Structure 1
């Protein structure tokens, strides 16, 4: 199971450490942040104790209004579960009672100046990506007009050269040779690089190029949602399918199904243009449009 330490969270979001500074090595394994509400009134049946606990204005105001005995009772009930850490938003003050309990139980108590909902979105996004299940595959990842495309095929088939042509047409490189795929949720697969290959594209007979230096910063982006899996294959005579609408095929990565198509290669064939067409066609289908259906309607209407 992937994890990060509380210290990594502190460093990433410049959090102030109010208590439990010697416990920043504690691990965070869950991708969501929890705002305790029902727990403050004694309901713990579904308490996600392994999640980071975020205390916003609503929670802190409630605690401030309790008597000292009530406050100690409610906080005591939560800290005994030893969540990874508590984070207080909006730089709220008057936290002596929280500091006392966190020090006693060796739980990091942190604080951020950010508003609760904004911080919640930022941390959930960060944890989802950082702790996501991932695999690395051989291929090239590009973003074509905002659409994430995975290019696969045997070594030397022309994946990087196709990506280079797409970049020259205004599209963006995400990763070359080694693509890291992260499962953000059951329907979302994220493609990114491994850090070492960032911005680099390897072209046979040319060598490595840095696309950002060569074509500008707009030629590269760190990550993209993968929505198309395109396999480049050598030309096979009489193997092309010319039906009006092909039966959908899928490739599965980390239990996420991605639409799959094959593009055969032949000298003079505009492979980059076909990738653009595939991406744009996918987009239109998401909008409910089918060229084949429109064509059939025209035939029916004479």
Structure 2
């Protein structure tokens, strides 16, 4: 069960959204109770159907509550507050209706006011919750920005992942994370990789020790996060394990948090320029995403040649 405290949410947006705390418990939690819940569903306009989410009141909702201050508004608000939503956010610079104040005080529900529009509040908080409450996993490897595409370089210990990363950095690409990569499901079929705070900007290379990549190569050599779109597996020649297919007709994938990510296997051998191979793998991946596959193009051309020979 993933959760974030309302007090933490308030502190994060206090200046950006000009939040003002009126009442309620700072320790109340915004909770994603099961894996099928997307964090974006945990905030929205006033609704008794989704009573347990963060309730946002814009000018229209405030006007309705004020007009129906008697039985109608009370009948609507009572089940909402009974579900103990984490917070009520009154937007558009509107003063919170007295009915809302009374129910909030009686149920210990936080009330926050802001001059920003309800749409802006919902958009900002949804993006925040998508990252704070996302399903996560850790992966071992080096995560790089190669030609604008997030590539996770994996393989057995000692295969040369860090040395390859150093070569890619020297060629102008960017480091996201070394050794431990935090991967988060931030949207449907969308994975984001980032580095733990402790390891940020550092790369460990055998013989050189720990390097601060930002200090050695400059600000442009590091990235805070990237969308994960490719896994590159460096394969040592091992007896009993077949080598990678020379002409794969279908791209391999690996499942991460329910998302299928393209996978490329690159055999490691003396004299192979792995940096060039990774760059080329990224370029071909980008082309395949656009519907261009060189292998299939070659097979089609070969088939056309065979058909032409048959006609002769």
Conserved 8 A contact 2:91-2:118: yes
Measured after TM superposition, the shift of residue 77 of structure 1 is: 3.3
Q: Which residue of the other structure, out of 16, 20, 32, is the alignment partner of 1:16?
A: 20
How far is 1:112 from its partner? 2.8
Q: Give the corresponding residue for 1:216.
A: 218
Alignment of 1:233-252 (within 5 A): 233-235=235-237, 239-243=243-247, 245-252=248-255
2:43 corresponds to 1:34: yes
Tell me the residue number matched to 1:4: 4
**More deviation in 134-143 or 90-99?**
90-99
TM-score normalised by length of structure 2: 0.85
Structure 1 residue 236, shift from structure 2 partner: 5.8
Q: How does 1:127-276 map to 2 (within 5 A)?
A: 127-235=129-237, 239-243=243-247, 245-276=248-279
Q: Is the 8 A contact 1:236 1:264 kept in 2?
A: no
Contact 2:142 2:161 in 1 (8 A): yes
Q: Out of 62-71 and 123-132, give the one that drifted further.
A: 62-71
Q: How many Å apart are 1:162 and its aligned residue?
A: 1.1
Q: Do the aligned partners of 1:186 and 1:255 also contact (CA within 8 Å) in 2? A: no
Q: Cα–Cα, structure 1 residues 145 and 89, in superposed 2: closer, same or farther, change >3 Å?
A: farther
Rate the CA distance shift 1:222–1:155 in 2: closer, same or farther, 3 A.
Answer: same
1:278 aligns with 2:291: no
Give the Cα separation in 2 of the matches to 1:36 and 1:295.
Answer: 54
- Report the 3-state secondary structure (helix = DSSP H, G, I; strand = E; otherwise coil) of the residue aligned with 2:94: coil
Contact (CA 8 Å) 1:176, 1:201: kept in 2 or not?
yes
How far has the Cα of 1:108 moved from its partner? 0.2
Q: Give distance in 2, aligned partners of 1:149 and 1:190.
A: 11
Q: Give the alignment's TM-score, normalised by structure 1.
A: 0.88
Q: Is the 8 A contact 2:193 2:227 kept in 1?
A: yes
Residues 29, 50 of structure 1: 8 Å contact kept: no
Distance 1:282 1:211 in 2: 27
Contact 1:174/1:221 (<8 A) preserved = yes
RMSD between aligned residues = 2.2
Q: What is the aligned counterpart of 2:293 among 280, 290, 294?
A: 290
CA distance in 2, matches of 1:82, 1:220: 43
Asked if structure 1 preserves the Cα contact closer than 8 Å seen for 2:138 and 2:180, the reply is yes
Q: Structure 2 CA distance, aligned partners of 1:273 and 1:55?
A: 54
Aligned equivalent of 2:36: none
Deviations 1:52-111 (Å, cap 9, x if unpaired)? Answer: 122223322332333444333332332122111111223322533322221121100112
Partners of 2:51 and 2:81 within 8 A in 1: no
Say which SS state the counterpart of residue 59 (structure 1) adopts: helix
Contact residue 230 and residue 261 of structure 1 kept, 8 A:
yes
Question: For 2:263 and 2:109, how far apart are their aligned partners in 1?
Answer: 48
How many residue pairs align between the two structures? 292
